[in-house]
């Protein structure tokens, strides 16, 4: 943007040029035509191109307007630093001074933002025409990029280095300055909630030393706008139906060291629910069943989020019962004098709307069909809110896109609705090196390559190598989520491993495995899986004092098995669930060829109950059994062991039948069960640190080693423990530390462990 002095110079220059044209044209007799057009001063741009832009040619009338238009047209090309037009008689001479060509764009002083990011932000590129306006615009873009990263003290000064042949190197000299943080957050008008309570709600945080790994304490105008919405949601959930954010003022300190942010709020009165009801205007719908879906009742404090939850639940319920066209309208009637609200949900038949065109926008690398197959609605289907919401969730779950936005617009008919799916792709490939430590394996090293959108086809390819004190393993996995363009997934796993169990059971295990698999949805939450595994296990010992029961296991065996699983997932999140449940049932039959025969069954159930916004109670139970076939003994590598994460307070392999010799080797069993109850909660530290505490109690047992009682301690008595733990989702990786005390255990048999520690990070 030009300042007023620059604008004045341009105006005077243009006026002088036009005035010069006017004088020359005025001295030319009327009716004169152009006999010849000449160009002077051009080095790079051809005369023919200048003739074309000027619009002047022999035979045209020579008039003042004609020359003025030519002058303006040549300036508008941005190819010239200066242009003048003169005429001598009926000869027109065009004098030009060409703008230079950009040879290179160079950034100096940038340490926090790499050069590729800066180059992608500006418009000027090598071989572009240099103009001051373009440089000034790009300077502002670079400054804007630094400000988005919280560096409001950054300065950018463009300079040019002149080269031969009218070329220049463009240099942006950058002084990045310091991060402009949030010095203080203040509130005006808050009576119900103190400043510290409201600060905990905001995404923006005050600058503190421990926030060096986050950017939440940097000033971001978009984040401030989001904080206004977070405040509104908080107050609405607490019953303040009249709440307003009157203003959010951000003032930069005079030394540009940080911002002072002030939110002025009007809390309004707090309301309770007086009357709540449902009015259903649909045939054959039981109003009493719909009323059970209400998330509020008389006497409750009004919660704005429950209004939306109720509307969604009613819409989903009726949609599942065949009512695709439903309009749920919450009617809220406030009574300020009694500080109560009447909530009435009016349910009526909506306009019949069908899906028209579905367009996918923004997918550059990802194939169109990869996005389209996740959409639960097809062109011509009846519009369904729950199916549309599920489609958006499935696209998010792909983890291919940083943003997913479903936009609805009017179709080519009143009953048609078009969908535009806007996606923004993100990097889906990962090459990582990880290090960690666990109580069982000690130090762990891991190298992995993973691509979850291989070749843009939505395929998953993973190769991984892990090494630790007791384990060396190489895995390759490939998954095609829509095999042969059908709605079922197919994949294969290859595993090569060496597992040293000498400290628990006195043997060394080598395994090679190949396992193809398929899975498909029976219903949306219910998945069925099938797999076949062909594996070769070699058990060996290298210690002289190993139990004879283990020595009997030495040798190579081939296992050929068919597996089946059912997975019913109703959790709100697969990563950090706070509500819902997951049910799992798996069966494996070994004996389709090979030398090993058994039938294995396992079941697990996990449930999550939110006790408050940040406190979650969870229950987990699991159990399994292995049946022998034709009296074939079950090898130790196929048996169950309990301990560690499955039964805290005991070592890995700590609860198991053991031989009665001095070495007390772990033998494993054919039956097991475990159970756990846990409550997780915040520990009072800032939320962005991601630290949670938990209290838990675990129970479990494993038994039936199929060995004589005089040789093995084999008890199915229940073991139990209690404890507490700390979980930290650190920027370097998840860390978990549990302290447990075994309350019930078998003396001289079980191996207890008071501390369980695990940590992994990606470098």
| All structural domains of the chain with their residue ranges | 4-98, 101-175, 181-266, 272-349, 354-425, 429-762
Q: What is the chain's Cα-based Rg?
A: 36
Q: Which helix (H) or strand (E) holds 599?
A: strand 598-610
Residue 213, Cβ density class (10 Å: 0-12 exposed, 13-18 middle, ≥19 buried):
exposed
Distance from C-alpha of 187 to C-alpha of 204, rounded to nearest angstrom: 13
261 three-state secondary structure: strand
Pairing of strands 272-280, 340-349: parallel
Pairing of strands 401-410, 340-349: unpaired
State how far the Cα of 139 lies from the Cα of 133, in Å rounded to an integer: 10
Which fold is adopted by the domain 429-762?
Answer: Porin (2.40.160)
Euclidean distance between CA atoms 289 and 283, whole angstroms:
14
If DSSP codes are grouped into helix, strand and coil, which group holds residue 116?
Answer: helix
Q: Phi, psi at residue 188, to the nearest 5°? A: -125, 130
CB 282 within 8 A of CB 318: yes
CA distances from 157 to 106, 143, 179 (A): 12, 10, 19
Counting every residue written for the chain, the total comes to 763
> What is d(CA 583, CA 523) in angstroms, rounded to the nearest whole number?
14
pTM exceeds 0.75 = no
- Whether the CB-CB separation of 104 and 92 falls below 8 Å is answered with no
CA distance 160 to 182: 36
3-state secondary structure (DSSP) of residue 515: strand
d(CA 355, CA 236): 34
Phi, psi of 202 (to 5 degrees): -70, 150
Distance of CA 442 to the CA centre of its chain: 31
Question: Phi first, then psi: what are they for 297, rounded to 5°?
Answer: -145, 165
Burial of 19 (0-12, 13-18, 19+ CB in 10 A): exposed
Q: Give residues with Cβ within 8 angstroms of 560, minimum separation 6.
A: 532, 533, 534, 590, 591, 592, 593, 594, 596
Burial class of residue 85 (count of CB atoms within 10 Å of its CB; 0-12, 13-18, 19+): buried
At the top level of CATH, the class of 354-425 is alpha beta
Q: What secondary structure, in 3-state letters, does 292-359 show?
A: CCCCCCCCCECCHHHHHHHHHHHHHHHHHCCCCCEEEEEEEEEECCCCEEEEEEEEEECCCCEEEEEE
Superfamily of domain 181-266: membrane protein fhac (3.10.20.310)
| Amino acid 7: pLDDT | 43
CATH code assigned to 4-98: 3.10.20.310
Report the half-sphere exposure of 564 (CA within 13 A, side-chain side): 5
Return the closest-CA partner of residue 626 out of 638, 616, 636, 643.
638
Among the listed residues 461, 362, 488, the one whose alpha carbon sits nearest the alpha carbon of residue 420: 362
Q: What is the dihedral of CA 142, 145, 150, 153, to 10 degrees?
A: 10
d(CA 166, CA 27): 36
E strand or H helix at 118: helix 115-121
Architecture of domain 101-175: Roll (3.10)
* Mean pLDDT for all residues in the chain: 84
**Residues lower than pLDDT 70 in the chain:** 1-31, 212-214, 322, 324, 430-444, 446, 503-505, 544, 575, 662, 686-688, 730-734, 758-763
Regarding the domain with residue range 272-349, which homologous superfamily does it belong to in the CATH classification? membrane protein fhac (3.10.20.310)
Topology agreement, domain 4-98 and domain 354-425: yes
CA-CA distance, 105 to 160, in Å (whole number)?
A: 10
Distance from C-alpha of 274 to C-alpha of 321, rounded to nearest angstrom:
30
Tell me the C-alpha distance between 50 and 590, whole Å.
Answer: 83
* CA distances from residue 347 to 122, 286, 342 in whole angstroms, order as listed: 52, 12, 16
pLDDT at 334 (0 to 100):
92
Crossing angle of helices 47-54 and 64-76, in 10° steps, is 120
Q: How far apart are CA 669 and CA 724, in angstroms?
A: 28
């Amino acid at each position: 943007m030009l300042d007023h002095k620059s604008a004045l110079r341009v105006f005077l220059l243009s006026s002088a040029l036009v005035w010069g044209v006017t004088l020359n044209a005025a001295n030319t007799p009327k009716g004169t035509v152009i006999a010849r057009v000449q160009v002077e001063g051009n080095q790079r741009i051809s005369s023919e191109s200048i003739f074309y832009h000027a619009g002047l040619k022999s035979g045209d009338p020579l008039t003042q307007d004609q020359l003025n238009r030519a002058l303006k047209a040549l300036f508008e090309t941005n190819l010239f630093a200066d242009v003048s037009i003169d005429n001598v008689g009926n000869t027109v001479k065009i004098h030009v001074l060409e703008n230079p060509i950009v040879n290179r764009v160079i950034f100096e002083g940038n340490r926090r933002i790499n050069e590729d990011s800066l180059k992608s932000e500006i418009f000027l590129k090598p071989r572009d025409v240099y103009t001051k306006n373009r440089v000034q615009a790009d300077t502002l873009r670079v400054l804007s990029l630094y400000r988005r990263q919280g560096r409001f003290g950054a300065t950018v000064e463009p300079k040019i280095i002149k080269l031969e042949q009218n070329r220049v190197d463009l240099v942006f000299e950058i002084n990045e300055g310091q991060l402009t943080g949030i010095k203080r957050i203040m509130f005006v008008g808050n009576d119900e909630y103190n400043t510290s309570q409201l600060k905990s709600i905001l995404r923006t945080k005050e600058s503190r030393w421990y926030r060096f790994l986050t950017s939440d304490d940097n000033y971001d105008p978009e984040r401030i706008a989001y904080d206004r919405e977070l405040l509104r949601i908080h107050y609405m959930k607490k019953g303040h139906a009249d709440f307003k954010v009157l203003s959010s003022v951000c003032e930069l300190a005079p030394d540009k060291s940080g911002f002072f942010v002030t939110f002025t709020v009007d809390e309004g009165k707090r309301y309770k629910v007086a009357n709540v009801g449902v009015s259903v205007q649909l045939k054959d719908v039981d109003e009493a069943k719909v009323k059970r879906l209400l998330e509020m009742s008389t006497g409750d404090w009004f919660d704005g989020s429950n209004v939306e939850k109720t509307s969604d639940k009613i819409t989903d319920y009726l949609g599942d019962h065949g009512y695709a066209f439903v309009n749920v309208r919450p009617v809220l009637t406030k009574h300020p004098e009694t500080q109560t609200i009447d909530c009435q949900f009016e349910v009526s038949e909506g306009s019949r709307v069908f899906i028209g065109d579905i367009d996918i926008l923004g997918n550059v690398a990802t194939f169109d069909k990869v996005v389209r197959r996740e959409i639960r609605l097809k062109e011509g289907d009846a519009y369904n809110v729950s199916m549309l919401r599920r489609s958006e969730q499935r696209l998010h779950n792909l983890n291919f896109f940083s943003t997913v936005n479903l936009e609805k617009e009017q179709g080519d008919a009143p009953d048609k609705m078009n969908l535009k799916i806007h996606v923004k792709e993100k990097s889906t490939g990962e090459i990582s090196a990880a290090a960690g430590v666990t109580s069982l394996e000690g130090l762990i090293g891991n190298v992995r390559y993973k691509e979850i959108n291989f070749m843009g086809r939505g395929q998953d390819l993973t190769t991984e190598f892990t090494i630790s004190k007791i384990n060396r393993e190489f895995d390759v996995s490939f998954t095609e989520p829509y095999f042969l363009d059908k709605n079922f997934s197919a994949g294969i796993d290859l595993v090569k491993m060496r597992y040293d169990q000498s400290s628990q059971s006195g043997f060394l295990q080598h395994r090679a495995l190949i396992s193809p698999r398929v899975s498909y949805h029976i219903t949306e939450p219910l998945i069925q899986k099938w797999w076949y595994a062909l594996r070769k296990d070699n058990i060996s010992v290298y210690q002289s004092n190993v139990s004879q029961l283990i020595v009997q296991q030495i040798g190579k065996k081939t296992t050929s098995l068919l597996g089946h699983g059912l997975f019913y997932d109703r959790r709100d999140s697969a990563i950090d669930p706070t509500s819902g449940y997951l049910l799992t049932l798996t069966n494996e039959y070994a004996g389709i060829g090979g030398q090993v025969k058994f039938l294995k069954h396992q079941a697990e159930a996990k449930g999550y109950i939110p006790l408050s916004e940040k406190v979650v109670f969870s229950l987990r139970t699991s159990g399994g059994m292995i049946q022998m076939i034709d009296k074939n003994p079950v090898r130790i590598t196929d048996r169950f062991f309990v301990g560690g994460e499955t039964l805290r307070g005991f070592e890995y392999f700590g609860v198991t039948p053991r031989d009665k010799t001095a070495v007390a080797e772990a033998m494993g069993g054919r039956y097991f069960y475990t159970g756990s109850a846990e409550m997780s909660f915040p520990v009072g530290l800032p939320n962005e640190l991601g630290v949670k505490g938990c209290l838990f109690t675990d129970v479990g047992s494993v038994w039936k080693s199929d060995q004589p009682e005089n040789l093995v301690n084999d008890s199915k008595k229940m073991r139990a423990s209690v404890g507490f733990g700390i979980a930290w989702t650190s920027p370097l990786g998840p860390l978990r530390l549990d302290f447990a005390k075994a309350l019930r255990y078998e003396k001289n048999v079980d191996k207890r462990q008071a501390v369980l520690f695990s940590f992994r990070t990606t470098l």
